[in-house]
């Protein structure tokens, strides 16, 4: 805390950090401008330079900050000496008139931020608009044309106290795009607010769509497919045997299920599947930022790749299983081949991603791991239905629960591994790859077609 504000600075005496160091000895040095009326540096809150491990002797600093000559200096530029695009220019509206939003009384003029320009990128600018005279930000326009906007109102509390509060928020994702509106309401308690409601009209519309779909499903779906009048004779004959599963059944044979090797093989393979996949929806953005040093925007785009590739893996698995079944004339063998291919491929691509020097290549490998992961999904669920028979719902639920245990354990275990190894991300991939390979082993001992009631000695 080597910076102490002096002179006529508004927060006189406040301390600010000048050096930060992590557990590995990496340091960040922060330098500050002289305070108002003081000639010595590190006596104001205005940062002039930041140096980190990328700084080299003789350079101006990793990041340098420039201010204008206002009575209270405002930041006008951020530059760097490490040859990246992180350079920004700030513009202001000086002597902007200001009045009290409650009684419209005149107030001293102020300075308002108008835009933030990314230097070297034409048109890449954040722009800000304010209500006339009140200084309340009413609109922020993003570099690609998206915008956020707000309207305000006055709320009277007991005391009497009055505060300006946002009443609506609107969002437009791009230039000329659809405008979305959220109405913001509070309770009427004049001492303090106990609740706030943000009305999302888009969610209400989607909710109505859900109601329509539920009604259509009610009139279309039948517990027993043979009850559907539009089925032809060939379809009825094909489903006649399996339609018996739609009838009611007695108590669930828990003892037989718990003693069944098939049930445990099915559960453990789903545990392994979820353990490896849950990284994509928990730690992946952090991995891209910290291990691959990507900006947030790039992180968001690349994080979608595993989910997209997984979606492709499902139909490919169905197609491949059907082709293998016709070729081998053996459903069980076809399912085992596809499942083992999925598990081995997922583990292999995860391991392969650690050998990729660039973030894009690494994400392509992780995307292919997700693709192979979802190879297993169709054969796992169809096997649960066949093994469970009339108790397919119970057995499928058990498999899904065991898989969720793996999904819950994965992010916790990864966090402990990163903490214990000082962020060794490769180790987390090795462990997940190994867990994937156990899934292939479980499938080697799984009969994915014989119903639970017909299994003997297993």
Render pLDDT for 340-384 as a digit per residue (tens, 0 to 9).
Answer: 999 999 999 999 999 998 899 999 999 999 999 999 999 999 999
Distance CA 448, CA 326 (A): 17
Domain ranges of the chain: 1-86, 87-205, 254-454
Q: At what angle do helices 392-420 and 425-444 cross, to 10 degrees?
A: 150
**pLDDT number for residue 456:** 47
Q: Given pLDDT bands bounded at 50, 70 and 90, which one contains residue 2? A: very high
Render pLDDT for 13-68 as a digit per residue (tens, 0 to 9).
Answer: 999 999 999 888 888 999 999 998 888 999 999 999 998 877 766 666 788 999 99
Residue carrying structure tokens 């081995």: 344
Class of domain 254-454: mainly alpha
16-20, 112-116, 131-135, 191-195: segment of lowest average pLDDT: 191-195
> Which residues share a beta bridge with 63?
50, 80
CB 442 within 8 A of CB 265: yes
**pLDDT number for residue 84:** 67
The three-state secondary structure class of 186 is strand
Distance CA 176, CA 216 (A): 34
CB 37 within 8 A of CB 43: no
Render pLDDT for 179-226 as a digit per residue (tens, 0 to 9).
Answer: 888 888 877 777 777 777 877 766 677 788 888 989 998 888 877 777
Global pTM reads 0.55
């Amino acid at each position: 805390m080597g910076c102490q504000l002096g002179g006529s600075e508004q927060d006189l005496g406040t301390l600010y950090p000048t050096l930060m160091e992590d557990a590995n000895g990496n340091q960040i040095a922060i330098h500050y401008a002289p305070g108002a009326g003081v000639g010595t540096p590190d006596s104001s809150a205005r940062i002039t330079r930041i140096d980190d491990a990328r700084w080299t002797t003789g350079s101006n600093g990793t990041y340098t900050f420039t201010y204008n000559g206002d009575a209270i200096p405002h930041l006008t530029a951020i530059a760097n000496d490490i040859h990246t695009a992180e350079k920004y220019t700030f513009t202001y509206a000086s002597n902007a008139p200001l009045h009290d939003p409650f009684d419209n009384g005149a107030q001293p003029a102020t300075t308002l931020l108008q835009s933030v320009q990314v230097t070297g990128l034409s048109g890449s600018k954040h722009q800000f608009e304010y209500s006339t005279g009140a200084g309340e930000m009413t609109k922020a326009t993003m570099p690609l044309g998206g915008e956020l906007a707000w309207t305000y109102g006055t709320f009277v509390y007991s005391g009497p106290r009055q505060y300006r509060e946002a009443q609506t928020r609107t969002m437009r994702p791009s230039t000329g795009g659809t405008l979305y509106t959220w109405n913001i309401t509070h309770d009427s308690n004049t001492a303090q607010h106990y609740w706030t409601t943000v009305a999302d009209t888009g969610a209400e519309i989607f909710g109505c769509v859900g109601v329509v779909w539920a009604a259509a499903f009610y009139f279309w779906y039948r517990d027993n497919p043979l009850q559907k009048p539009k089925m032809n004779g060939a379809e009825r004959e094909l489903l006649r045997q399996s339609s018996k599963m739609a009838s009611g059944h007695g108590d669930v044979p828990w003892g037989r299920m718990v003693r069944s090797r098939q049930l445990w093989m099915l559960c453990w393979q789903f545990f392994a599947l979820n353990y490896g996949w849950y990284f994509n929806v928990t730690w992946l953005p952090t991995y891209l930022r910290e291990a691959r040093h990507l900006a947030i925007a790039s992180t968001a785009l690349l994080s979608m790749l595993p989910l997209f590739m997984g979606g492709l893996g499902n139909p490919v698995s169905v197609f491949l299983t059907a082709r293998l079944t016709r070729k081998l004339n053996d459903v069980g063998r076809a399912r085992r081949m596809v499942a083992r291919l999925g598990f081995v491929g997922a583990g292999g691509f995860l391991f392969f991603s650690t050998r990729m020097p660039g973030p894009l290549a690494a994400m392509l490998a992780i995307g292919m791991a997700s693709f192979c992961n979802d190879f297993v999904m169709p054969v796992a669920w169809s096997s649960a239905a066949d093994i469970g028979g009339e108790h397919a719902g119970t057995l499928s639920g058990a498999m899904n629960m065991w898989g969720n245990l793996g999904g819950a354990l994965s992010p916790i275990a990864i966090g402990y591994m990163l903490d214990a190894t000082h962020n060794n991300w490769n180790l987390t991939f090795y462990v997940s790859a190994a867990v994937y390979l156990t899934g292939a082993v479980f499938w080697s001992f799984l009969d994915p077609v014989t119903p639970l009631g017909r299994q003997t000695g297993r």
